[in-house]
Amino acid sequence: MNRVTFSVVAIMLLAAATTLPFVLNAGFGKAPQGAQLSQVEASPHYRDGQFHNQLPTPGFTGQKNMLAAWWDFLMTKRENARPAQPLPLVKTDLATLPLGQDVMVWLGHSSWYLQLAGKRILIDPVFSDYAAPFSFINKAFPGDYPWRAEGMPEIDLLIISHDHYDHLDYATIRALLPKIKRVITPLGVGSHLRYWGMDGR
């Protein structure tokens, strides 16, 4: 094997080894297929392979162009971007709340627990220590986060607003599976949940 061939093979093997963890990571979910894809394609808001807003919506509204905005976001050091110490919080023991009591508990970022008319509702739960498919990306601020899937009561309704990692978390959903009765998601998001083991609830 000459040097060029060896180099090409080595680069291909390195590329495969680098991308394999991404390809095999269940946290990426699964795109809609079959009947689920047909439902997506039947939506009046879905054209040319993607969803469209009903009203004209600019993709970027900043004063800079997108490249400059990304450069600024990634390269500019910001003061006080992270708390200097763990944030104080009050733990509400959700399992012991009287079911007849209407309550709303903020669990952090986009996650909410509600009790309404005797029903337990969970919105966009993320109980992991990071909002990404890999633990070294987008870590939570330090602190004693008190809510975990294991401590959740049985959930009558799970609502997922969209499939960004800070709203739809693989590890959280997997841990909550036995406790969830019904789910509401936008078109296409249910494919991730089915791929992760949830039936047609």
Q: Domain residues of the chain, as ranges?
A: 3-48+85-195
Question: Using only C-alpha atoms, what is the Rg of the chain?
Answer: 21
Let me know: does 36 contact 191? Beta carbons within 8 Å.
Answer: yes
Provide the β-strand partners of residue 51. 46
In sequence order, what are the residues at sequence separation of 6 or more whose Cβ sits closer than 8 angstroms to the Cβ of residue 129? Answer: 135, 139, 140, 145
Nearest to 103 by CA among 126, 88, 124, 121: 121
CA distance 102 to 150: 22
Q: Is 77 exposed, middle or buried (0-12, 13-18, 19+ CB in 10 A)?
A: exposed
Can you give the pLDDT at residue 83? 82
pLDDT tens-digit map of 62-78: 777 888 888 888 888 88
Task: Measure CA 34 to chain center.
Answer: 23
The DSSP bridge pattern shows strands 180-184 and 155-159 to be parallel
Residue with tokens 């609830």: 201
Predicted pLDDT of residue 115: 97
DSSP H stretches of helix in the chain: 3-24, 34-42, 66-75, 170-176, 190-195
Whether residue 170 has pLDDT greater than 70: yes
Q: Residue 18: what pLDDT?
A: 66
What's the pLDDT score for residue 179? 95
Residues 3-28 have pLDDT tens digits of 767 676 667 777 666 666 665 677 78
Does residue 148 have a pLDDT over 80? yes
Confidence of residue 172 (pLDDT cuts 50, 70, 90): very high
Across 176-183, average pLDDT: 95
